[in-house]
Amino acid sequence: MAPRATQCIVGAVAAAAVSQTASAAFYLPGVAPQSYKTRENVPLFVNKVTSTKTQLPYSYYDLPFCKPKHAKQASENLGEVLEGDMIKSSLYQLEMKVPDGCKILCKKNHDKSDMRLFRSIIDDEYRIDWLVDNLPGSMRNEQYDYVTRGFPVGFVAPPAFEGGKKMHFLYNHVRIVIKYHEDPLAFEGSRIVGFQVIPYSINHMWDRFEDFDEYTTTLSTCNEMHPATNDPGNFQTVEEADEVIYTYDVKWIPSEVTWAHRWDVYLAGNPDDEIHYFSIVNSLMIVLFLTGVVAMIMLRTLRKDITSYNEMQTLEEAQEESGWKLVHGDVFRPPAFSPMLLAVCAGTGAQIFAMMACSMLLAMLGFLSPANRGGLLTAMLLLFVFMGAFSGYYSARLYKLFGGKEWKRNTLLTATAFPTVVFVVFCALDALLYSEGASTAVPFSTLCALILLWFGISLPLVLVGSYFGFKKPAFEVPVRTNQIARHIPDQMWYTHPAFAIALGGILPFGAVCIELFFIMSALWLHQIYYVFGFLMVVMFILIATCAEITIVMCYFQLCNEDYHWWWRSFLSSGSAAGYLFLYAVWYFVSKLEITGFVSTTIYFGYMFVIALAFFLLTGCIGFWACFWFTRKIYGAIKVD
């Protein structure tokens, strides 16, 4: 047993590492590298300003920065729009391999309201997101040798003396450092493989003729011969209304990094892989323990019980049934509470499961790489819509097993119940975002597109799946159901449904909690999550854990002659979602610095939607595993 377990662990971890390496080197077909000729124009796009403290992104031009008269907006996919991307052209002029020194972008006279806005943005630690050749601008931390996306709008200096006022300073000069790769044998021109931004705060001053005391159109604070530097005595303050001159440098650096690996520097900022290995090994230990328990139940206890029971039935000897065998006439009795709702939940869970499996497959193949902005969210949304047939089919077949007659109502609930909850929460949060002017506020056209996807594609597919589900014969059960329900004996405290349900969700959550930390960091700390190889292994572990813990809990319940297992099997593994939401509360308190009612509401609103989807997913896995288990064990006994 031990060598085999070791082989399983090594195999799973190796698969994760190999798949992760493969996905890191593969990019979405269609996102082809672009080569630039010398002196060819290289557009710099501005996107949005974001903050981990407020979670309210704004368009770059919502701030009083230098703006072209007619800013062109880049085409964006559905995922980019939902993420709040607003990619537009800028005044910055870059020419391939042509350096620039202290070039004036524009000058602006900021009034008190502008400066007040800048101070608020700086206090909330907003960062600016730029794009060059689809690469986000970054800042390098030389001390720890990693990069972070975006650069801050400004910074705050502590008061010079006790009781003094803190000062806000604006980064009005940027040094744009672009790395390029050349390989004349492979391609013509140069390819951009790095984009770094170094911000400076400089209170610019115009040069002047000393003899005539007249100012020129050049700057005395920086020029081509005198590069920009950070002078603590000459920072650009935003405490009072003032004229601000915006400038920039451009520096081109040749690099040996190839185009296919230009995203590696962004991914290097993620935690080391050793933590993911520890997560997988820890979760595998849980699975191996549960597998041993299930194997003992199936191979020893059940096999012995079934063999003894069948031998006595063959010899026609009188015997007193006991344990799980005693409730064979009631175990497949339809649930007393809302069979339709259970069928709807099980069907919707199957839809989410199919969406998750396909998303993982696409991510493993590299189709959802960071180079494809908004690709992950777009893929998950479209896959959920197209997997509607699964929810309709399994919901219909289960409802038919329960003897339900209102098939139209069941189908309609399957198609609308979960999407309606998500849509209501989404619209409420969108209204809050709109009131704050955030860029993630979805425009009306996008909202119409989402409704069209729902009623134009998802709903018809659910109807088609439901049609075929009701046409198919009902699931066969191995034993007949008695007309009169059997009395359930009094249960001990540890067999109470509330205790069993709460206990059943601990291990599934424990199997994914470490990986959940990195996913939460990617969602709320604006990091990049791209270790889908590890995530795939964790997904398999989650499936196995949910199935096995629910089977074990169901077996003990049946042994106590309690045949109400339908809902309990769904809720036992589904209760992991409750622990996920509690984890979200802990993460909010200990890891985030979110302030304000709107930002807090947005966080918990979206985490509620995620927890609800996780509840349906894990509950569905546990329910169908128990359904298979009960059919298997009761199909092995001989009943008159």
Q: What is the pLDDT of residues 308-321, one digit of tens each?
A: 656 555 545 444 45
Q: Give me the pLDDT at residue 380, please.
A: 93
DSSP letters, 551-593, are: HHHHHHHHHTT----HHHHHHHHHTHHHHHHHHHHHHHHHT--
User: By CB neighbour count within 10 A (0-12 exposed, 13-18 middle, 19+ buried), where does 149 fall?
Assistant: buried
Residues 540 and 473 sit within 8 Å (Cβ to Cβ): no
Residues 421 and 348 sit within 8 Å (Cβ to Cβ): no
CA Rg, the chain, in Å? 31
C-alpha 530, offset from chain centre: 11
Query: Which DSSP category does 473 fall into?
Result: P
Write out 225-271 in H/E/C secondary structure.
CCCCCCCHHHCCECCCCEEEEEEEEEEEEECCCCHHHCCHHHHCCCC
Cα 20 to Cα 13: distance, rounded to the nearest angstrom: 10
Encoded tokens for 95: 């020419």
Helix pair angle (407-436, 388-401), 10° resolution: 140
Q: How many CB atoms lie within 10 A of CB 11?
A: 11
Residues 221 and 203 sit within 8 Å (Cβ to Cβ): yes
Q: Give me the pLDDT at residue 252, please.
A: 95
Name which of 606, 629, 612, 636 is nearest 556 in CA terms: 629
**At 467, which amino acid appears?**
Y
Most distant pair of Cα atoms in the chain: their distance: 123
Query: Which DSSP category does 326 fall into?
Result: G
Cα 92 to Cα 67: distance, rounded to the nearest angstrom: 10
Q: Calculate the alpha carbon distances from 538 to 242, 267, 283, 286 in Å.
A: 55, 20, 8, 12
Encoded tokens for 504: 């059943």
Tens-place pLDDT, residues 568-579: 999 999 999 999
Residues 84 and 438 sit within 8 Å (Cβ to Cβ): yes
Name which of 551, 566, 553, 578 is nearest 500 in CA terms: 553
Q: Calculate the alpha carbon distances from 246 to 41, 67, 215, 429, 546 in Å.
A: 21, 11, 18, 36, 57
Which residue numbers in the chain have pLDDT < 50? 1-30, 209-215, 271, 315, 317-320
Q: How many CB atoms lie within 10 A of CB 23?
A: 21
Encoded tokens for 27: 């990019």
Q: Calculate the alpha carbon distances from 472 to 333, 349, 392, 465, 468 in Å.
A: 20, 20, 12, 11, 6
Name which of 164, 180, 177 is nearest 35 in CA terms: 180
Q: Tell me the pairing of strands 214-219 and 135-136.
A: unpaired
Residues 509 and 3 sit within 8 Å (Cβ to Cβ): no
Q: How many CB atoms lie within 10 A of CB 217?
A: 7
Report the DSSP beta bridge partners of residue 219: 206
Instruction: Return the H-helix or E-strand segment holding 202.
Output: none
Q: How many CB atoms lie within 10 A of CB 471?
A: 11
Encoded tokens for 192: 């951009």
Cα 416 to Cα 347: distance, rounded to the nearest angstrom: 12
Q: How many CB atoms lie within 10 A of CB 640?
A: 4
Name which of 145, 269, 237 is nearest 518 in CA terms: 269
Name which of 408, 403, 415 is nearest 467 in CA terms: 408
Name which of 619, 341, 343, 330 is nearest 470 in CA terms: 343
